[in-house]
Amino acid sequence: MAEEDDKLERTWVFSGGQPAFDFDAIIRESHESEISITENPIEGGSPAHDHAVILPKRLEIEGRVSDTPLPSGGAAVFAGDRRSVTAFEMMVNLQESRKVFTVLTGLRRYTNMMLKILRTVQEAGTAEVLDFTATLQEVRIVNTEIVTFPPRRPGKTKRQADKKTDGGEKKAEAPKPVDRTSLLRKLSEYVSGGDVDLGSVLP
């Protein structure tokens, strides 16, 4: 770990508690940083960052590990006669452990990464070389805070409805009888143009 600052020109993988390793050669690095922006209209005055989500960082590495590395490079952790086989097994074990790790590249230090895809093709002419493509993706880790509220005080709250009271059985009042003779006389006077108050005789 102490040599991290001296190895920025290489790609190192630091897995928690495991020996750090680098590769004999890095052919290509692809760094991907992306945010997802809503395609819906944003209401005026609303903060734009509330409608954009930062996606996990992605890193793709094309590298090589040879059974006969150059004297100037090659991780000592890939020991044995078949360093290519050892490197492949170590990367598969790192992937299947599903543990996060740190990757140090020449552009950036990535933390909380996982090996998502490991792809390699070996042909007759490359039997002593491991040429691989590794796709790494960041794991977003958040902390959940639990808040304990004080207990509710005893007694009725505003949300509780008042209890219904039983007022007993109430009888409906009978309608007042209508004086038909007086009603007909008033209607006749009203039709003839007289000033008649019909409200006094109508029920």
What string of H, E and C letters represents the secondary structure of 179-192?
Answer: CHHHHHHHHHHHHC
13 class by beta-carbon count within 10 Å (0-12 exposed, 13-18 middle, 19+ buried): buried
Three-class SS of residue 194?
coil
| pLDDT cut 70: percent of the chain above it | 65
Between 59 and 157, the more confident residue is 59
Between 73 and 80, the more confident residue is 80
Between 72 and 61, the more confident residue is 61
| Dihedral angle, C-alpha 123, 114, 135, 73, nearest 10 ° | -60
Secondary structure of 144-162 in HEC code, one letter for each residue: CCCCCCCCCCCCCCCCCCC
Q: From 3, 12, 198, 4, select the one nearest 103 (Cα to Cα).
A: 12
On the question of pLDDT at 32 being above 80, the answer is yes
Q: How confident is the model at residue 5 (pLDDT cuts 50, 70, 90)?
A: very low
**Rounded mean pLDDT, 142-171:** 68
Q: How confident is the model at residue 198 (pLDDT cuts 50, 70, 90)?
A: low
Break the chain into its structural domains and give their ranges.
4-38+50-138
| Residue 186 CB neighbour total at 10 angstroms | 18
pLDDT for residue 148: 77
Rounded to whole angstroms, the Cα distance separating 26 from 125 reads 20
Residue 78 near residue 87 (C-beta atoms within 8 A): yes
Rounded to whole angstroms, the Cα distance separating 25 from 13 reads 14
The torsion angles phi and psi of 29, rounded to 5 degrees, stand at -125, 135
On the question of pLDDT at 83 being above 60, the answer is yes
Between 1.20.1070, 2.40.30, 2.60.40, 1.10.287, what CATH number should domain 4-38+50-138 receive? 2.40.30
